Chain A
Amino acid sequence: MNPFSLVGKTVLVTGASSGIGRATSVICSQMGAIVIITGRNEVRLSETYEMMEGNDHIQIAADLTNYEQLSKLIERIPKLDGIVNIAGIANPLVLQLTETSDVNEIMQINAIVPIHLTRLVLQQKKLNKGASLIYISSINGNNCAYIGSSIYAASKSALTGFMKGVALELSSRGIRANCINPGMIDTDLLSSGSIGQEELEKDRLKYPLKRYGKPDEVAYAVVYLLSDATQWITGSSLLIDGGYTLQ
């Protein structure tokens, strides 16, 4: 029996329509899991669905910031062995130009949604014993900070604090909770975003391993934390940053 296998596990992945979420969904399916994918963009969500291997996967398009859609999603899904909270946003925004709506949006998507999702799956008894809860946090806000992302940092460290409380509270049921703290990952979020190509090139060189991470490299860590190999790991934050925060 391969301790890293996900065969027989049912896993929910949020933010599955692109980037880390898409890579995670595909790789979890390759490792044998039944994957329930959700995301806002219906078209891109079905693209992810088409890329997955095996049968019995489920796709449900939903805007998780809409509380009604979130609770409906939880009602529809079967019992889970794992949840991977990936949906998130990042927009460089200096604090002095940050408005109430910006704060609310970033906190809502990055921190409040995973909190409500976790609460709802518990209340609706959708977690199997020994389930693994994974929150994609960030080095930003936990291990370092960047100009133009104080609210993002706040949302990601909020997520880490929440994860610790959950890890302790659910430990008696063998349910584990962990964060993954990635450094910069090459995704559409980056290439389409407001950061210039030249700046990105310069920033890449700040990483001791001289490149950004790949979505697949975060997905492999997700597989690890979902698998039975990590049954004694809870409350931890796994750093995946190419050595960035060593300096």
Chain B
Amino acid sequence: METTEFIKNFADQFDDTDASEFTLETRFRELDEWSSLNALAILNMIGKKYSVFLKPDEMKPTNTVQELFDLVQSKLS
């Protein structure tokens, strides 16, 4: 799993925040447009692209893209 690709897939789930703004350090819960719909879309994206099926409770402790990436990575290995 590549971080650049993960960031791109992650950014695709947002409409108002420009894709270029996303980095591994982005604290996504603090974005203006963050909502439960983004959360569901990100869970769906991770399921579709990486075949990792996270529960919302598992995603809850993550705040940055890096933390979420690490969580997905840990499920893959």
Contact = CB atoms under 8 A, between A and B. Distances in A.
> For the side of the interface on B, what is the size category?
10 to 19
Contacts of B54: 194
B60 A94 contact: no
Interface of A is mostly: loop
Interface stretch (A82-90, A162-170, A196-204, A209-217): A196-204
Interface of B: 36-37, 40-41, 43-45, 47-48, 53-57, 60
A199 B60 CA distance: 11
Interface of A: 92-94, 96-97, 99, 147-148, 194-199
Contacts, number: 37
Q: What 7 A-B pairs are tightest by C-beta distance, nearest first? A: A196-B56, A196-B57, A97-B44, A94-B41, A148-B40, A93-B44, A94-B40
8 contacts: A92-B40, A93-B44, A94-B37, A94-B44, A147-B36, A194-B47, A194-B55, A198-B56
Nearest to B57: A196
A147 B57 contact: no
A194 B36 CA distance: 13
A97 B43 CA distance: 10
B36 A196 contact: no
Nearest to A195: B56
A194 B56 CA distance: 7
